[in-house]
């Protein structure tokens, strides 16, 4: 943790020396040359505290609501424009200063020797949001690292260390600026208007992503940051099969040797549901507990709504719920998100409705129940007997007959008569899939022919090299975050894959419908080979969800080219 704080401090200091800090410097330097001797200290104190708290709070809000990743930057550009215009128009600037002045205690009420400290704090606090876009890819790395820390200790401490690092450098610049600009006081009005013009010009440049292009060029030489390595990635069918061969189909660590009458081993007491935000499909959205479900057979299913492996298991879960619900089976889906927008309760509720899920679902945004079970995979099923003990578990797709057999055994052990088996069926993964899940965000980007992928906005050019098997490539301008890639201008994405079906998690900024043109092997994708979300070689993207792009009938080796309208974000490819 100490090393992480030191890294954040150094990163903050580096940001204060970067070209992007230019729009903030005029205001900071003007604060340093006016007011009392303690005003510069107040400015940097206010900026550091407001930046730290605002950044962490806004990241949480944007993350929880599934809002566009660029929202914080867009808001900062608007504030920057307002500051610049107020300086360009003297009358507007006077009104703004008067309004701020009314919020600041009058000098006679300030402590003796204040020297403008508190007025500086207020000004610095107002600059916290404007300073946010200056962080660019460096701040993305800091926030990515701090995402694995607790809110009260880790994230806040890292953000504050980052802000303090910047504040130290800015304070030194202000002290130097005071000495330098004292000679220019007679021309203060002209300098103020020039400062406003610079701020407006920089805001316009930021709208054109000119600032982040420079930062990205620097970031390409920095080491990549890995996000939260404790959370395992969703495994492909081939890898999961190899894992099952090593571990056995059931993870038997900690198994006690006693067995129930069903012949299923006792794996230990089942952890209760904990740390959940909301419950769906329960009376009055009431929380369930294993204590109140004692006497029932409970199937806990860890899933997330953009996971194709999870989606393919839903027909079986729904069939078991319908067939055995009256015989004592209770299914609880624990929705543990992989991407930020999957934390939105509205998105989860919509996915539950569209998939026709009637059993209870718990929202597990903080991975509390996931960690209580020591789970690592989507999907994962834990079968709990009438006495509250885990008796069977299964990771991934498949083994549906065996899982149903375990359900029936535990129901019989509890004195129920389950009757005939279900006739459940559903889409299954195809054989011959050779391409693994492929993530577009910087934190987990692998297999790109463009070289290392870093957070920031980057123009990848108009033509990438030929794609080797199972690789990807960006063309045009993209805004990359740790979790996603958003099309900016002339954005194309090429993929060499070996599979029957291709899926991609997509979303559109603000929920506005936008189009994706789909080509297969250099030609528009014909409807006979298109997934259900593509018609006339075009997919319309609105909601943040999994889109079915290609269905070839059988697995084969092909190249897919996607041309994305500006504002569309991509997250991860999966295959089947």
Query: Which pLDDT score is estimated for 263?
Result: 78
Cβ burial of 221 (10 Å; 0-12, 13-18, 19+) is exposed
Q: List the domains of the chain with CATH numbers.
A: 2-219 (no CATH), 237-413 (3.40.30.10), 438-575 (2.60.120.260)
At residue 485, the 3 state secondary structure works out as: strand
Query: Which pLDDT score is estimated for 554?
Result: 92
CB 270 within 8 A of CB 334: no
Cβ burial of 4 (10 Å; 0-12, 13-18, 19+) is middle
Query: Which pLDDT score is estimated for 130?
Result: 52
At residue 67, the 3 state secondary structure works out as: coil
Report the range of poorest mean pLDDT among 23-27, 400-404, 484-488, 513-517.
23-27
Per-chain mean pLDDT for the chain: 76
Query: Which pLDDT score is estimated for 426?
Result: 85
Instruction: Tell me the CB-side half-sphere exposure of residue 371, using CA atoms within 13 A.
Output: 10
User: Quick one: average pLDDT of 337-342?
Assistant: 93
Query: Which pLDDT score is estimated for 280?
Result: 97
Tell me which residue of 205, 192, 201 sits closest to 92, measured CA to CA.
192
Largest CA distance in the chain: 94
Note the pTM of the prediction, 2 decimals.
0.61
Task: Please tell me which of 55-64, 172-181, 562-571 the model is most confident about, judged by mean pLDDT.
Answer: 562-571
User: Which is more confidently placed, 58 or 490?
Assistant: 490
At residue 79, the 3 state secondary structure works out as: helix
- Residue 95 is classified by DSSP as H
- Residue 445 is classified by DSSP as B
| Strand stretches in 261-398, DSSP E | 265-266, 268-269, 279-280, 297-303, 329-335, 360-363, 380-384, 389-395
Tell me which residue of 165, 153, 151, 154 sits closest to 57, measured CA to CA.
151
Q: Assign 30 a pLDDT band (cuts: 50, 70, 90).
A: low
Query: Which pLDDT score is estimated for 336?
Result: 97
User: Quick one: average pLDDT of 296-324?
Assistant: 96
Share of residues in the chain with pLDDT > 70 (%): 59
pLDDT exceeds 50 at position 232: no
User: Quick one: average pLDDT of 142-165?
Assistant: 55
User: Which is more confidently placed, 400 or 23?
Assistant: 400
The per-residue pLDDT for range 183-192, each reduced to its tens digit, is 545 555 665 6
User: Quick one: average pLDDT of 199-227?
Assistant: 54
């Amino acid at each position: 943790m100490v090393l992480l704080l030191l890294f954040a401090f150094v990163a903050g200091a580096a940001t204060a020396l970067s070209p992007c800090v230019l729009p903030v410097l005029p205001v900071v330097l003007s604060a340093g040359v006016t007011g009392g001797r303690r005003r510069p200290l107040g400015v940097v104190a206010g900026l550091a505290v407001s930046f730290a708290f605002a950044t962490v709070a806004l990241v949480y809000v944007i993350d929880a609501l599934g809002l566009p990743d660029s929202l914080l930057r867009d808001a900062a550009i608007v504030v920057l424009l307002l500051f610049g215009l107020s300086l360009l128009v003297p009358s507007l600037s006077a009104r703004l200063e008067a309004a701020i002045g009314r919020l600041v205690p009058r000098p006679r009420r300030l402590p003796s020797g204040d020297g403008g400290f508190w007025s500086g704090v207020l000004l610095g606090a107002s600059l916290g949001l404007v300073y946010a876009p200056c962080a660019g890819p460096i701040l993305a790395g800091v926030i990515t690292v701090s995402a694995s820390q607790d809110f009260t200790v880790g994230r806040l401490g890292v953000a504050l260390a980052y802000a303090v690092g910047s504040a130290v450098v800015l304070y030194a610049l202000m002290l130097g600026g005071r000495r330098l600009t004292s000679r220019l006081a007679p021309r203060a009005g002209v300098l103020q208007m020039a400062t406003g013009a610079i701020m407006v010009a920089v805001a316009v440049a930021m709208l054109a992503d000119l600032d982040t292009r420079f930062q990205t060029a620097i970031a390409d030489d920095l080491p990549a940051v890995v996000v939260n390595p404790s959370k395992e990635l969703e495994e492909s069918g081939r890898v999961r099969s190899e894992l099952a061969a090593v571990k056995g189909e059931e993870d038997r660590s900690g198994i006690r040797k006693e067995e129930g009458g069903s012949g299923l081993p006792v794996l230990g007491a089942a952890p209760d549901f904990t740390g959940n935000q909301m419950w769906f499909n329960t009376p009055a959205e009431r929380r369930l507990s294993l204590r109140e479900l004692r006497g029932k057979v409970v199937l806990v299913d860890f899933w997330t709504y953009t996971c194709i492996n999870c989606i393919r298991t839903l027909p079986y879960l729904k069939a078991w719920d319908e067939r055995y619900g009256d015989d004592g089976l209770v299914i609880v889906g624990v929705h543990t998100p992989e991407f930020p927008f999957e934390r939105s309760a509205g998105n989860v509720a919509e996915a539950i409705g569209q998939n026709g899920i009637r059993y209870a679902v718990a929202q597990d945004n903080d991975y509390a129940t996931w960690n209580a079970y020591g789970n690592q995979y989507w999907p994962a099923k834990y079968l709990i007997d009438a006495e509250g003990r885990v008796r069977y578990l299964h990771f991934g797709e498949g083994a549906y007959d065996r899982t149903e057999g375990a359900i029936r055994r535990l129901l019989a052990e509890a004195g129920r008569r389950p009757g005939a088996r279900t006739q459940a069926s559903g889409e299954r993964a195809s054989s011959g899939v050779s391409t693994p899940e492929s993530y577009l965000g910087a934190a987990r980007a692998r297999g790109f022919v463009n070289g290392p992928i870093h957070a920031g906005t980057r123009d990848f050019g108009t033509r990438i090299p030929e794609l080797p098997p199972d690789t990807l490539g960006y063309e045009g301008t993209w805004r990359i975050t740790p979790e996603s890639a958003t099309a900016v201008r002339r954005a194309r994405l090429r993929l060499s894959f070996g599979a029957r079906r291709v899926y991609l998690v997509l979303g559109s900024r603000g929920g506005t419908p936008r189009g994706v043109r789909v080509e297969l092997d250099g030609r528009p994708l014909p409807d006979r080979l298109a997934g259900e979300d593509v018609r006339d070689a075009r997919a319309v993207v609105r909601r943040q969800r999994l889109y079915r792009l290609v269905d070839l009938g059988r697995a084969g080796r092909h190249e897919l080219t996607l041309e994305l309208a500006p504002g569309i974000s991509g997250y991860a490819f999966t295959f089947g």
